[in-house]
Amino acid sequence: MASVRRERAYLDYNATAPLRPEARAAMTAAFDLGGNPSSIHAEGRAARAIVEDARRAVAELAGVGPRGIVFTSGGTEAVNLALTPAGKAVRLIASAGEHVCVLAGHRFAPEAATLAPLRPDGRIDLAALEAALDAGGPALLALQGANNETGVLQPVAEAAALAHARGGIVVCDAVQLAGRTSLDAQALGADYLVLSAHKFGGPKGAGALIAARPELHVGSPLLRGGGQERGSRAGTENVAGIAGFGSAARAVRGEVAAEAIRLAQLRDRLEARILAAAPDAVVFGAGAPRLPNTTCFAVPAIAAATLLMRLDLAGVAASSGSACSSGKVARSHVLTAMGIAPELAAGAIRLSLGWASRELDIELFIEAFAPAVASLRRRGAA
């Protein structure tokens, strides 16, 4: 007898959003087009036109000119490209809650890298940052726009003002901002932004390092060769991936205000249902400004790995609030930096919504979550 396929709820947009139909269509058209974008014949010019159209779309999303866009293979490459000693900025200051690609991917000597602490609500401690900035010469400051685990929004503009007043440069990992809240390089005050297409409905394997001003230029490329991307990133461009990136950027730019409201309403209902099912659950960063699509919580005495497996078997895709590598759940350095007790942090679950999220996803989650928590508590009490 054939089994009935249960509908699944996908609640892991902060890891990867499903591909938007606009992006899929743009990629399909690009796949059908021959030609290297560096070639001068008609086929090459057609490929170049696709890349440059996408460059304009990504620039418009970030509020910069198209010359500021350097396409990369994703956010990690863009971060590695940006976080290198250049000019007077010979030391790095990063918040303790940065993505691991910042903490492990920079090109500064270990003794030249400093972590600025987080407050208990998940935001960077600006007083401690100011002290760190005053402790040496001009620094390169790495500060994410929003944390990928908790959704907490960082005070990038205030931090950037502190760094700039001391001759510093600011790189903002804006990967989680795009499509969920307004994204404006000038308002953020950062010198560079980092984006990754697959977080908001574009394809995996496409990202960008974005310079807020045309005079900014990457001084030390990671990849050297043919001089593509104005000498900042060698290698034949991923035309299809870039096409999907540009299409997704254009789509989210037109709907971000309404989408932020919709996602916040869904997120708030989701948290209310979680707390109704488990009143002792703790929502991390709840007292700070957060992305409208993200909730990170833990139920005391219930391990994240166990609950995640129960949810997956019941048809819900979620993730741990901690960094994951090859499917293994590790303790969150973000929650540790917030001062969360290890036993509570070990239960962190992250739920994140996006462009295709529905009310049904919340219902499916609660149908799986409430009995799972009840069962695990009975087992723990036995």
Residue 324, pLDDT above cutoff 60? no
Average pLDDT over residues 52-64: 97
Average pLDDT over residues 320-338: 73
Length of the chain, in residues: 382
Average pLDDT over residues 207-214: 93
Task: Please tell me the predicted confidence (pLDDT) of residue 220.
Answer: 82
Task: Please tell me the predicted confidence (pLDDT) of residue 381.
Answer: 46
Residue 203: partners with Cβ closer than 8 Å, 6 or more residues away: 19, 23, 27, 197, 240, 241, 244, 245
Which of the two residues, 350 and 5, has the higher pLDDT score? 350
Report the half-sphere exposure of 283 (CA within 13 A, side-chain side). 21
Domain spans in the chain, listed from the N-terminal domain onward: 9-17+257-381, 21-253
Residue 82, pLDDT above cutoff 70? yes
Task: Please tell me the predicted confidence (pLDDT) of residue 322.
Answer: 52
> Which of 102-106, 214-218, 225-229 is least confident?
214-218
The active-site residue out of 101, 172, 296, 324 is: 324
Residue 4, pLDDT above cutoff 60? no
Q: What is the CATH number of domain 21-253?
A: 3.40.640.10
Instruction: Kindly state the tokens that stand for 93.
Output: 């200051």
CB atoms within 10 A of CB 284: 29
Helix (H) or strand (E) holding 342: helix 342-345
CA distance 128 to 141: 13
Residue 216, pLDDT above cutoff 70? yes
Distances (CA, A) of 379 to 24, 302, 307, 365: 45, 10, 13, 21
CA distance 180 to 294: 10
Task: Please tell me the predicted confidence (pLDDT) of residue 223.
Answer: 81
- Digit-coded pLDDT (tens) for 342-361: 999 999 999 999 999 999 99
State residue 316 phi and psi, 5-degree precision. -120, 125
Task: Please tell me the predicted confidence (pLDDT) of residue 222.
Answer: 81
Task: Please tell me the predicted confidence (pLDDT) of residue 326.
Answer: 42
Task: Please tell me the predicted confidence (pLDDT) of residue 331.
Answer: 79
Task: Please tell me the predicted confidence (pLDDT) of residue 321.
Answer: 66
CA distance 324 to 342: 17
Q: Which fold has domain 9-17+257-381?
A: Aspartate Aminotransferase, domain 1 (3.90.1150)
Percentage of the chain beyond pLDDT 70 is 95
Percentage of the chain beyond pLDDT 90 is 85
Task: Please tell me the predicted confidence (pLDDT) of residue 378.
Answer: 87
Residue 89, pLDDT above cutoff 70? yes
- How high does pLDDT run on average in the chain? 93
Residue 127, pLDDT above cutoff 90? yes
Task: Please tell me the predicted confidence (pLDDT) of residue 110.
Answer: 93
Task: Please tell me the predicted confidence (pLDDT) of residue 226.
Answer: 84
> Which of 14-28, 115-129, 157-171, 317-331 is least confident?
317-331
Residue 211, pLDDT above cutoff 90? yes
Report the half-sphere exposure of 46 (CA within 13 A, side-chain side). 11
Q: Are 95 and 125 in contact (CB under 8 A)?
A: no
Task: Please tell me the predicted confidence (pLDDT) of residue 214.
Answer: 79
Residue 201, pLDDT above cutoff 70? yes
Q: Note if 172 is an active site residue.
A: no
- Digit-coded pLDDT (tens) for 276-299: 999 999 999 999 999 999 999 999
Task: Please tell me the predicted confidence (pLDDT) of residue 329.
Answer: 61
Average pLDDT over residues 61-85: 95
CA distance 63 to 66: 9
